[in-house]
Amino acid sequence: MGSKHIWPFNNSAGAKNYTIQTGTLTISAIQTSNTAIITNAPLSKSVLEFTYSSDSIVGEPRINFVNGEITNNTTLTFSRNTSGAIITIRWFVWTGNAATNINVQRGSVDIGSGGALPKNVTISAVVLAKTFPIISFTSGGGSPGTDDVIKATITSTTNLELDMGAVATNARIVKWQIIENPDWSVLNYTVSLTSFTLNQVITSVPLANAYICGSGEYTNTIEGDRVPFMQMTTPTNILFSRTSNSGTWTISLYVVNMSGESVTQHVQNAIPLNVTSDTVTITAVILPKSFIRNGNILNTFQNFDQSNFNADHTAIRMNFNSTTETIVLRNTASPEPVNYALTVHEMI
């Protein structure tokens, strides 16, 4: 089940142009995967972004951790390890035409099943200062632990390193995307979060052109108040924030200057207590050119003002309500808020 919005894709070799496809897809309580059909999107030019909510009243990673990939030019596949809850996914695919210089590699790897860490994945040679990774992953774990949080770092021109805080005895399937564009500049920082908040100083990047993403390892049991969000607050600062200072996060942060190919808006707010959604007014965007990036570290999960990790409270999906409003949703109202961050990208 699901819905989608597809706008005409321009693959001509004229001016640079990006096209966005977007839709909603459900993984039913008895499914472990589902697919969405898209209009032809060249694999080497296309990037998948997604968020999701869950109706699960428990925090089991094997039920609630979802990975996603562009399987072929016309298919998206979203998967988890074990059935047992309804997952509602909001996805965006952004695709550059032939005139853009974006190049995307992608793949799938199991970094669990007792394998040694870190896991090194060979990639085609890239320029480090022009390249960043995006990952999503499933877990076979029954309770959230240090082996359910995965950090991705491009450590050399031909290597993607994937790491966790502990070896996992069952599967951890990572879907990875490596995005390179010689027209962009990319900064990478290793961030250590040991307190409630951290302000990471970076080399200046214009807020209006910035794309940020990150992933991390963690030294403790995962609970909602221990999961941070990240927000770019000034051209030289990234804020990491959570409501518990338990445990240490080691985060691989990427900050991308998209050099005028993206006009970016930065949003930080909360789904209030006892409600399931939150809306924020933004400057008007053109929807067929725009997508939302989650300010997350751990799949779709954001900071929850409570120690449990119930997915129906903490997993949130993000969408546009209109050209001037974003909406974020969770499945169940809770007596505690969910603190979140997102970026809105309007592409050329």
Which residues, other chains included, contact 285 with Cβ-Cβ below 8 Å and sequence gap of 6+? 265, 320, 323, 324, 344, 346
For residue 51, the cross-strand partners are 90
- Token readout for 175 is 């879907």
Domain ranges of the chain: 2-347
Cα(144)–Cα(310) distance, rounded to whole angstroms?
11
What backbone phi and psi angles, to 5 degrees, belong to 128?
Answer: -60, -40
- Tens place of pLDDT per residue across the chain (348 aa): 565 554 444 444 468 999 999 999 999 999 999 999 999 999 999 999 999 999 999 889 999 999 999 999 999 999 999 999 999 999 999 999 999 999 999 999 999 999 999 999 999 999 999 999 999 999 999 988 899 999 999 999 999 999 999 999 999 999 999 999 999 999 999 999 999 999 999 999 999 999 999 999 999 988 888 999 999 999 999 999 999 999 999 999 999 999 889 999 999 999 999 999 999 999 999 999 999 999 989 888 888 876 778 889 899 999 999 999 999 999 999 888 999 999 999 999
Buried-state track 112-146, b at ≥16 Cβ within 10 A, e below 16: beeeebbbbbebeebeeebbbbbbbbbbbbeebbb
| Entry pTM | 0.95
Amino acid sitting at position 184: W
